[in-house]
Structure 1
Amino acid sequence: MAEQNMAYTVAVWLIPLVFAIVCHEVAHGWVARALGDQTAANLGRLTLNPIKHVDPIGTVVLPLLLAIAHAPIFGWAKPVPVRAKRLRNPRRDMVLVALAGPGSNLVLALLTTLALGATYAVAGELPETGAAGFLTDNLVNFLLINVFLAIFNLIPLPPFDGGHVVEGALPRALVPGWRKIARFGFPLLVFLLLVLPMIAPKANIVARVIGPIAETVIRAFLALGGIPA
């Protein structure tokens, strides 16, 4: 029974997580193409086929471990390549490309809220068992994950999307220094998310910053859908 419960938990978290991450990356590529850069399109990355986007660690291993540990679920896919020089207005357009990812997650969260709200309005409750319950759990987690990904990726540091927004807003003279920070993006990510919380629990960005913001946004979506929090 425990193994069945674990398999269910992994399924209802991993399925929506992978789809949310893939949509996030594809949104970057779609906007880049619209603004003049065909790189992602030429490489076949403008597809919802997860195989094209899966990062073994960020999309599979890490989320599975977090699900098993009952920890907050997050992850990443292979970044969609964007060449700023091919964009019509590189500084402005890179900001728009960066915002496309979190923006797509919020749109998906809204659509999911509407679907859940319609179900609740018709049935008077959200199904908890059987195939309908499985679908509901996936939708609820899809809402949570999309909101979390949107807020998480807006952290104003590289390599997050928020870091690209900051770069676009900086005076040109400060951009080279900011890009030097971006070179250490992945180690910085590991430090902020894993190392810092262990050595200084009060500095846990996810628990103390991202979590409360995401919870507020999620409650707003639920209220919009007429769903009890």
Structure 2
Amino acid sequence: MEQTFSPEQFSVQAIHALQQAGEFASRTRSLSLSPSHVLYGLLAQREADAVGVLTALGHDTEKMLRELKAQLGSRQMVRWRTSGAQQQERMDPALERVLHGALAEANAAGAPFVSTRDLLVSALANPTAEIAEWQNAWRIDVDAVRQAPVRVYEQSVAQAAQQYQDAAARAEAQRSHWRLSSVFLGLAAIMVALGVYLYSTPEPEPVLFFAFVTIGWVISLALHEFGHALMAYFGGDFSVAERGYLTLNPLKYTHPVLSILMPVLFLLLGGIGLPGGAVYVNMGAIRSRWMQSVVAAAGPAANALFAVLLALPFLLISDPTLWLEHFHFWAAMALLVFLQATAIVFNLLPVPGLDGFGILAPWLPDSLHRALAPFYSFGFLLLILLFWYVEGFRTVFWRIVLVMLGELNISPVLIDAGLTFYRFWM
């Protein structure tokens, strides 16, 4: 095609019709691209304007396409080997008139680009002898095609390119929603490096023991909140992906005081794993009450899975004397498992603000929610009072924790040593 025509002047479907016309002309060894080939390309675009209009006017476009293909395909031209300049495809002058006519049709209609209907109208209004013969055989009225109200929406090249870019951007954003954050990977790498150090050093620096356990705790916090976010996403709240909750980035879940300072303070004072992070879940978007309960339970479930993974060496090796050779490392691992156990029991308490209450909340009547609403903001204070001033509550709490640790084959001696090493300045 000559440079007077550019892709931006045509719809995507019109370009596809011209491309298919060129491919058909090449297959039949035609010496030039003619309006007849373009007519074939137009009829081959089953979802475009031209076919839509002809079909609405009662024409059998599939039959027309078969007849065109049979007649044009029977004309196998022989091309002699010539110089490079002579081998180049040349445009049939009749086709040039059709393209100019199609541009005029689009301009007259105030359209920003040439559609397949514009090409069809121009081919019928500027017919070659061959097209005139088919037009007469098929009884196509060019004015009826031009004025037919039926129209299939066609896209410009610019629109198609923009849609492609938008789709690519959405796909990239979707991938980034699930991509592990560099923060999480960095913390995991530091934890592994510290673990190797603790394992290989008989008397490790106390501050590095503290760092290993604290980083392990932050990683468990990320896993806990990721569990909530993952189930919320599958339950229907897709906003958790946009907030970055599916990347395991602790910075997306944490608050400097509630997520770092308070849990460490609880650990130092009472030896309790207190998850302080929180993800915002739009429970209104979750599709069922069952799924709302699953979302609430997913956090403690993530802690349970992490605890089992950490406890695998203790479960697989029954000889307790083996823990003495790398005592600091195993004490740190035991302490991390202990923290997971306390976090699970702590979080499953049916107190407002904790996951245990979140599991029950979807099933409670609205009247009870209204009655409890004034106390929701005091759930944390209630826990402190229960833990420090109600001996029966503490007894039951620690008994459940010890049963869990016993099932995981974690020695209380290692836990006590881990707490001592962790509070190295006390």
TM range (shorter): 0.7 to 0.9
**Residues 180 and 97 of structure 1: CA distance in aligned 2, closer, same or farther (over 3 Å):** farther
CA distance in 2, matches of 1:29, 1:8: 31
**Which amino acid in 2 is paired with 1:54?**
T
Aligned pairs for 1:23-102 (under 5 A) are 23-69=223-269, 71-89=270-288, 91-102=289-300
> What is the aligned-residue identity percentage?
24
Residue in 1 that maps onto 2:398: 211
CA distance in 1, matches of 2:374, 2:290: 20
**Which amino acid in 2 is paired with 1:36?**
G
Contact 1:58 1:75 in 2 (8 A): no
CA distance in 2, matches of 1:196, 1:124: 38
Residue in 1 that maps onto 2:332: 138
Structure showing greater radius of gyration is 2
CA distance in 1, matches of 2:238, 2:361: 22
CA distance in 2, matches of 1:117, 1:105: 17
TM-score (norm 1): 0.77
Contact 1:55 1:76 in 2 (8 A): no
- One of 374, 377, 381 as aligned partner of 1:190: 381
- One of 302, 322, 325 as aligned partner of 1:125: 322
**Residues 144 and 83 of structure 1: CA distance in aligned 2, closer, same or farther (over 3 Å):** same
5+ residue gaps in structure 1?
A: none
Contact 2:213 2:332 in 1 (8 A): yes
**Residues 97 and 167 of structure 1: CA distance in aligned 2, closer, same or farther (over 3 Å):** same
CA distance in 2, matches of 1:167, 1:228: 36
RMSD: 2.7
SS in 2 for 1:19: helix
TM-superposed CA distance for 1:28, in Å, is 0.2
- One of 407, 411, 415 as aligned partner of 1:220: 407
CA distance in 1, matches of 2:297, 2:303: 10
TM-score (norm 2): 0.44
CA distance in 2, matches of 1:75, 1:65: 9
TM-superposed CA distance for 1:101, in Å, is 0.8
- One of 3, 7, 11 as aligned partner of 2:211: 11
**Residues 151 and 65 of structure 1: CA distance in aligned 2, closer, same or farther (over 3 Å):** closer
**Which amino acid in 1 is paired with 2:404?**
V
**Which amino acid in 1 is paired with 2:274?**
G
The size of the alignment, in residue pairs, is: 208
Deviation string, structure 1 residues 159-194 (Cα, Å, up to 9, x no partner):
111111221232354333344432x2xx3312421x
CA distance in 1, matches of 2:379, 2:228: 22
TM-superposed CA distance for 1:17, in Å, is 1.7
**Residues 63 and 84 of structure 1: CA distance in aligned 2, closer, same or farther (over 3 Å):** closer
**Residues 99 and 17 of structure 1: CA distance in aligned 2, closer, same or farther (over 3 Å):** same
**Which amino acid in 2 is paired with 1:57?**
V
Q: Which has the higher contact order (CA 8 A, sep 6+)?
A: 1
TM-superposed CA distance for 1:123, in Å, is 9.3
5+ residue gaps in structure 2?
A: 1-204, 413-426
**Which amino acid in 2 is paired with 1:208?**
T
**Residues 191 and 180 of structure 1: CA distance in aligned 2, closer, same or farther (over 3 Å):** closer
CA distance in 1, matches of 2:382, 2:364: 25
- One of 171, 175, 186 as aligned partner of 2:369: 175
TM-superposed CA distance for 1:126, in Å, is 2.0
Contact 1:128 1:136 in 2 (8 A): no
**Residues 67 and 153 of structure 1: CA distance in aligned 2, closer, same or farther (over 3 Å):** closer
CA distance in 1, matches of 2:239, 2:325: 44
CA distance in 2, matches of 1:33, 1:43: 11
TM-superposed CA distance for 1:112, in Å, is 1.7
Contact 1:29 1:80 in 2 (8 A): yes
Contact 2:245 2:252 in 1 (8 A): yes
